[in-house]
């Protein structure tokens, strides 16, 4: 399997998981034309789309996705805002959903609006992925993960310095502390997660101003092979088919 990065920032987030038997879209916060281009304008093997929450940098193109006949799983709040359509499914924590050859299990994460992370199992091989973004805390412990796609938005000391220097408003700092994953909290999460089978960590949604990408990559790489998602990248997960 591999991940194609369409966008990974506050300007828009979208990732395409590609497998030998189908593609699954993670978030649709980029202009639909950009996602279509990343899909080579071929929707024939797209089996679904997972949307984490209602913020536009994650859900901007949700109606385009639905209007192209692609089933969307999201939280019930986002589903109610978007409106009722037969292929829009508001899901709950720990429910199970089959999309093509993928088994999808949503779980609650902590953000400033209702939001979900997802465990995705590729049924033919048993490979398991965790996808979580826009959260300041993940309350659950996971075992048997092979790949982790995880927001690492800011470094606490970099944010503190930007506030002290007047580049970031104190109110923005308070929001970030209760809505986004810091490097420090990412490390706490990884410390208590079973990483024995993890082959790759992909870091998502880094802040342009409040993060230090070199430091983040260096510190998270101690846990497993790590890469920072950048638009246009294709990241191999396991063996390329």
Instruction: State pTM to two decimals.
Output: 0.95
Q: How many CB atoms lie within 10 A of CB 54?
A: 20
Q: How far apart are CA 58 and CA 7, in angstroms?
A: 10
The reported pLDDT for the residue numbered 17 is 98
Mean pLDDT of each 10-residue bin along the chain, 241 residues long: 96 97 98 98 97 97 96 95 87 96 97 96 97 95 97 92 90 87 96 97 94 96 97 87 50
Identify the CATH class of 2-236: alpha beta
Structure tokens given for 31: 């202009």
The reported pLDDT for the residue numbered 113 is 94
State the number of CA atoms in the 13 A half-sphere of 170 facing the CB. 1
The reported pLDDT for the residue numbered 79 is 94
Helix 213-220 and helix 183-191, axial crossing angle in degrees, nearest 10: 10
The reported pLDDT for the residue numbered 238 is 76
The reported pLDDT for the residue numbered 239 is 62
Residue 117, strand partner residues: 107
The reported pLDDT for the residue numbered 150 is 98
Closest-CA residue to 120 (of 88, 142, 139): 142
Structure tokens given for 148: 């982790």
Q: How far apart are CA 152 and CA 3, in angstroms?
A: 17
């Amino acid at each position: 399997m591999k991940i194609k990065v369409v966008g990974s920032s506050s300007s828009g987030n979208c990732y395409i998981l590609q497998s030998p038997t189908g593609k699954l879209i993670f978030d649709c916060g980029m202009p639909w034309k950009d996602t279509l281009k990343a899909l080579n304008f071929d929707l024939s093997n797209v089996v679904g789309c997972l949307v984490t929450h209602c913020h536009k940098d994650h859900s901007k193109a949700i109606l385009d996705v639905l209007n192209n006949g692609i089933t969307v799983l999201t939280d019930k709040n986002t589903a109610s805002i978007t409106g009722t359509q037969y292929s829009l499914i508001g899901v709950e924590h720990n429910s199970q959903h089959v999309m093509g050859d993928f088994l999808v299990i949503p779980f609650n994460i902590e953000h400033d609006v209702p939001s979900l992370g997802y465990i995705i199992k590729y049924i033919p091989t048993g490979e398991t992925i965790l996808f979580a973004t826009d959260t300041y805390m993940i309350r659950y412990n996971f075992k048997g993960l092979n790949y982790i796609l995880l927001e690492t938005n800011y470094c606490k000391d970099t944010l503190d310095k930007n506030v002290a220097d007047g580049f970031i408003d104190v109110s923005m700092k308070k929001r970030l502390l209760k809505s986004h994953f810091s490097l420090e909290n990412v490390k706490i999460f990884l410390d208590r997660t079973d990483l024995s089978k993890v082959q790759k960590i992909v870091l998502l949604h880094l802040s342009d101003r409040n993060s230090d990408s070199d430091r983040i990559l260096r510190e998270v790489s101690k846990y497993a092979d790590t890469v920072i998602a950048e638009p246009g990248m294709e990241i191999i997960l396991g063996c390329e088919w």
